[in-house]
């Protein structure tokens, strides 16, 4: 079933952005979305994996209205860059006002899925591009359905039943190490977590590597890179290596769509079956400002 097959139930007509994944919608204002349209919209996003609405004109409240139309918005775990007038939105930006950063400039490093929310899983992530650098800063996506389907049958059998372990703590300290390795010191991550954050951070999330999207029954490679602490039943180091090697394969060109942002793009993706990473841009030279929202899974 393709996104295009659902066109007749949607108030807009998406067209493919790449042969792998992604579709775009032109000439449609997301403020006109009604509750009746939502089931077809969800099917469309799950089929296309990434849906881009071009030329949107939204206030923070209107973007939250869009999130609420689809489901229950979530609040980002890092509170510092929640928008004061709309705390459902989190600001991704390298912009500084009066010397203070207005957003997190180093979010989304390392291939990952946003699926692991705090209490509930995060089904959909929505980004709205307000200021976009003229080069770089792509958001890169890889289809974990396509990567799974491309594996030899024998490898698929080997992976079946394997489980990887994710902890926020692993992700946090790997991120700090990555920033330090790059000589980046002006990031907004503190070097330690509060006791409250640490309690969450130490929680082990165990997931099958060969996972099934409960909404469409498709099998996908469910992994983490920065947050992977190992594989059940293996030495930690060997488990992490297995996952990172698999992630290298799964994020290679045949499974990729790299989104080149335009100002006022609203990009919505399904966290099942999909990996993403923030592409780099020249943070000294160019400004970027993106609003981020997410929607809780219904299950
Ligand atoms: Fe992300």
Q: How far is the CA of 278 from the centre of ligand 1 (A)?
A: 8
Q: How far is the CA of 205 from the centre of ligand 1 (A)?
A: 17
Q: How far is the CA of 297 from the centre of ligand 1 (A)?
A: 15
List pLDDT tens digits, range 219-245: 999 999 999 999 999 999 999 999 999
Domain at 144-250, CATH from 3.30.160.150, 1.10.150.120, 3.40.50.12240, 3.60.130.10: 3.60.130.10
List pLDDT tens digits, range 155-206: 999 999 999 999 989 988 898 888 888 888 877 777 778 888 888 888 999 9
Mean pLDDT (whole number) for 237-261: 98
Q: How far is the CA of 129 from the centre of ligand 1 (A)?
A: 15
Q: How far is the CA of 242 from the centre of ligand 1 (A)?
A: 22
Average pLDDT, the chain: 93
Q: How far is the CA of 206 from the centre of ligand 1 (A)?
A: 19
| Contact of 49 with 21, CB cutoff 8 Å | yes
Q: How far is the CA of 289 from the centre of ligand 1 (A)?
A: 15
Distance CA 181, CA 294 (A): 30
Domains 3-143+256-296 and 144-250 share a fold: yes
Distance CA 31, CA 88 (A): 17
> What kind of architecture, by CATH, is found in domain 3-143+256-296?
4-Layer Sandwich (3.60)
Domain layout of the chain by residue ranges: 3-143+256-296, 144-250
Instruction: Give this prediction's pTM.
Output: 0.93
Of residues 34, 28, 35, 179, the one with CA closest to residue 110: 179
Distance CA 129, CA 132 (A): 7
Q: How far is the CA of 111 from the centre of ligand 1 (A)?
A: 8
Q: How far is the CA of 55 from the centre of ligand 1 (A)?
A: 22
| Contact of 231 with 162, CB cutoff 8 Å | yes
| Contact of 233 with 9, CB cutoff 8 Å | no
Q: How far is the CA of 284 from the centre of ligand 1 (A)?
A: 23
Indicate the Cα dihedral angle 253, 256, 262, 267, nearest 10°.
Answer: -170
Q: State the pLDDT confidence band at 26, using cuts at 50, 70 and 90.
A: very high
Instruction: Name the β-bridge partners of 275.
Output: 142
Phi, psi dihedral angles at 75 (to 5 degrees): -105, 135
Q: How far is the CA of 29 from the centre of ligand 1 (A)?
A: 25
List pLDDT tens digits, range 27-84: 999 999 999 999 999 999 999 999 999 999 999 999 999 999 999 999 987 788 999 9
Q: Which position has the higher pLDDT, 171 or 5?
A: 171
Q: How far is the CA of 110 from the centre of ligand 1 (A)?
A: 9
């Amino acid at each position: 079933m393709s996104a295009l097959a659902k066109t007749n139930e949607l108030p807009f007509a998406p067209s493919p952005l790449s042969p792998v994944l992604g579709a775009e919608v032109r000439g449609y204002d997301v403020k006109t979305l009604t509750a009746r349209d939502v089931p077809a919209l969800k099917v469309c996003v799950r089929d296309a994996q990434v849906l881009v609405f071009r030329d949107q004109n939204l206030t923070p409240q209107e973007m939250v209205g869009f999130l609420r139309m689809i489901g229950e918005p979530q609040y980002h775990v890092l509170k510092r860059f929640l928008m004061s007038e709309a705390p459902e939105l989190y600001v991704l930006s390298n912009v500084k006002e009066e010397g203070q950063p207005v957003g997190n400039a180093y979010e989304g490093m390392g291939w990952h899925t946003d699926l692991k929310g705090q209490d509930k899983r995060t089904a959909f992530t929505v980004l709205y591009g307000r200021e976009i650098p003229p080069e770089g800063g792509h958001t890169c996506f890889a289809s974990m359905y396509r990567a799974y389907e491309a594996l030899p049958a024998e490898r698929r059998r080997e992976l079946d039943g394997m489980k990887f372990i994710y902890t926020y703590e692993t992700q946090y300290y790997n991120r700090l190490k990555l920033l330090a390795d790059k000589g980046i010191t002006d990031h907004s991550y503190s070097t330690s977590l509060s006791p409250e954050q640490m309690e969450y951070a130490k929680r082990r999330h165990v997931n099958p590597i060969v996972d099934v999207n409960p909404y469409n029954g498709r099998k996908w490679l469910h992994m983490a890179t920065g947050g992977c602490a190992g594989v059940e039943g293996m030495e930690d180091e060997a488990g992490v290596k297995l996952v990172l090697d698999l992630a290298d394969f799964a994020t290679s060109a045949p499974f990729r769509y790299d989104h080149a942002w335009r100002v006022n793009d609203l990009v919505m993706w399904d966290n099942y079956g999909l990996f993403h990473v923030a592409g780099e841009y020249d943070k000294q030279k160019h400004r970027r400002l993106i609003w981020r929202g997410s929607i809780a899974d219904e299950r």
